[in-house]
Amino acid sequence: MRSLDGGEHWEDRQPDGPFDTHTLLMHPQAPNRLYSAAGDGLRTPGRGYSESEDAGKSWYRPDEGLHYHYLWGMSVDPADPATVVVSASPDAYKAHHERNHAYSTLYRKTGSQNWQEVREGLPDSQGLIAPVLASNPDEAHTFYVLTNKGLYRSPDAGQSWEPLTLAWREEYLTQHQQALVVQTL
């Protein structure tokens, strides 16, 4: 649904729009573009990722290269609205269950290129509960991903990742992180 008047009136979802959006983003350099990471791909292959260039009136699905279409987390490069990173799983069960059954990975897309799976520096996909992603407007080409196996940073627009050193409790290994905020101090 969307409102063009600050919430006084609402329009229903567009017929070609995403149905089960998990993350919806905008970018200040592309004010009419919307990015949707959704679970729609389980019902209709190729519908996990959607973009709109006209503030949600119409949608298209650049999904070439995505092997998994159940998408959860997503972030857009603060300095480049054409670079997107998403977390993906084969299905909802593998995205959200404890590490014995979990399986998730990250994909990266920039410009008109196809999606590419990114694994360098990240923990094994087996046992990885669907991660959440974030970026910081003050850090161009930098992404963060929070998983049940740790917190990671990519200084090269999502191409490779490095673990951030912090205390990690044993119980975190089976927990599903729901949000990540990155702030410059």
13 located within any domain? no
11 pLDDT more than 90:
no
Residue among 122, 167, 166, 170 nearest 147 (CA): 122
Distances, alpha carbon 47 to alpha carbons 9, 37, 64, 68, in Å: 27, 9, 11, 10
179 located within any domain? no
Q: What is the pLDDT of residues 60-96, one digit of tens each?
A: 988 899 999 999 999 999 999 999 999 999 999 999 9
Label residue 114 exposed, middle or buried (CB < 10 Å: 0-12, 13-18, 19+): exposed
* Number of domains, the chain: 1
CATH at residue 34? 2.130.10.10
Q: Give the pLDDT score at 18.
A: 84
- How many residues can be counted in the chain? 185
Q: Name the residue range of residue 143's domain.
A: 21-174
Q: What is the pLDDT of residues 155-183, one digit of tens each?
A: 999 999 999 988 888 888 878 888 888 87
